[in-house]
């Protein structure tokens, strides 16, 4: 409010005109801003995963703005609204409500299944489309929410592929399974166990821990007594790394397998350097083959140039999630969630991770799986499969 209104003096006509113009310009500008929320654990033991997808979402938004994206003939500015749920389900629901109240146009996230599932209910109630680039629990898209999507394969596909590889290429028969009691860890272990047993393998021990644990000596001691060929871990590298170190300390030199939660170079550091070449095999939901590899390689190079660090795992899927959401808005001629949601549901977008289209539940169609080993503490590609 102008100072002259406080003093009772008449407002100069030029000032009044300028004020009205500024207000009108601000209103127009506000209408042309498209707010994209991103939520992940930006703090905590797996913050490097959260920052990975936040960076990629930011990069996608920068690219959309640089190309001058228009919706219904009007140039729009995409704006990132980044939030941290610290990997905590309670904080995730609080943040989700905050984004709904802020009237964001869409959300990329959350990071883990344990945070994505409770948050998805809030987005559905608020009518906000949500695309997770990293949550793999089947439960996320089994809730019947038409606002829930993901750009990577789920744990059913992941677990089946790992079970086939363990019994086939690795010739494993006796496996001890451990999960971290999260929605992700439990779901992955269940699907892997089912696949392993279908292929003739046997589960010789079932143990569980939690995603904050640091002492695994009792678990490792019990597992060692069952003489397994391999340990399958459902959880994240922040837990798997120390577990590998304690396995080594207790003379248990067997292989470990897991999902995308342990599929990062961080696991070698977190094992204290005790992880040996070939000891760990992991699978990442997603992956490209053939001619698609050039596009993925270019994305990784662009990401490193922009942020000065390598892609961890899910950055390409966050980038594609942002792009497919924006593409749906452009095709709908509107960034209003209710108007572009039908176009998102029938998306057919060519992304850096390959074609992005969703089935009736919101799962990505024809999701691929990439298997990795480790050599010299670095991930080493084994194969891309379905």
Evaluated on CA atoms 136, 137, 140, 143, the torsion sign reads positive
Residue 282 has pLDDT above 80, yes or no: yes
Q: What mean pLDDT value characterizes the chain? A: 90
Q: Is the pLDDT of residue 205 over 50?
A: yes
| Per-residue pLDDT at 196 | 97
pLDDT higher than 90, residue 155: no
User: Is 90 exceeded by the pLDDT of residue 30?
Assistant: no
pLDDT digits (tens, 9 = 90+) for 300-340: 999 999 999 999 889 999 999 999 999 999 999 999 999 99
| CA proximity to 176, closest of 226, 214, 239 | 226
pLDDT of residue 288: 82
- For residue 207, give the H/E element and its range: strand 202-208
Q: What is the pLDDT of residues 344-382, one digit of tens each?
A: 999 999 999 989 999 999 999 988 889 999 999 999 999
For the full predicted model, state whether its pTM sits above 0.85.
no
End-to-end CA distance of the chain: 62
pLDDT at 194: 96
Q: Retrieve residue 30's tokens.
A: 């506000």
Query: Residue 16, SS3?
Result: helix
pLDDT of residue 148: 98
């Amino acid at each position: 409010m102008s100072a002259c209104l406080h003093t009772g003096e008449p407002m100069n006509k030029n000032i009044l005109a300028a004020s009205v113009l500024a207000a009108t310009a601000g209103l127009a500008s506000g209408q042309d801003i498209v707010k994209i929320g991103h939520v992940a654990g930006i703090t905590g033991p797996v913050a490097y995963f959260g920052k990975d997808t936040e960076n990629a979402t930011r990069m996608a938004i920068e690219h959309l703005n640089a190309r001058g994206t228009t919706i219904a003939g009007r140039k729009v500015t995409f704006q990132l609204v980044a939030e941290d749920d610290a990997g905590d389900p309670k904080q995730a629901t609080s943040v989700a409500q905050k984004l709904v109240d802020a009237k964001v146009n869409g959300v990329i996230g959350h990071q883990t299944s344990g945070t994505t599932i409770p948050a998805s209910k809030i987005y559905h109630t608020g009518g906000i489309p949500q695309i997770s680039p990293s949550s793999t629990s089947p439960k996320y898209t089994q809730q019947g929410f038409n606002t829930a999507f993901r750009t990577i394969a789920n744990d059913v596909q992941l677990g089946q592929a790992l079970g086939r590889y363990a019994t086939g290429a690795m010739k494993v028969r006796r496996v001890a399974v451990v999960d971290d009691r999260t929605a992700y860890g439990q779901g992955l272990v269940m699907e892997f166990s089912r696949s392993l047993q279908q292929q003739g393998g046997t589960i010789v021990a079932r143990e569980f821990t939690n995603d904050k644990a640091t002492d695994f000596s009792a678990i490792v001691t019990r597992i060692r007594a069952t003489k397994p060929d391999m340990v399958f871990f459902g959880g994240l590298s922040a837990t798997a790394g120390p577990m590998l170190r304690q396995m080594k300390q207790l003379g248990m030199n067997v292989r470990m397998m897991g999902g995308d939660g342990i599929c990062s170079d961080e696991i070698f550091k977190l094992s204290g350097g005790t992880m040996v070449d070939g000891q760990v095999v992991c699978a990442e939901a997603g992956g490209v083959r053939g001619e698609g590899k050039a596009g993925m390689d270019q994305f990784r190079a662009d990401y490193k140039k922009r942020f000065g660090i390598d892609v961890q795992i899910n950055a390409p899927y966050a980038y594609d999630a942002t792009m497919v959401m924006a593409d749906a808005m452009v095709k709908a001629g509107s960034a209003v969630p209710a108007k572009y949601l039908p176009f998102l549901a029938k998306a057919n977008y060519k992304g850096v991770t390959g074609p992005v289209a969703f089935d009736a539940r919101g799962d990505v169609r024809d999701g691929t799986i990439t298997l990795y080993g480790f050599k010299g503490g670095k991930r080493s590609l084994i194969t891309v499969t379905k």
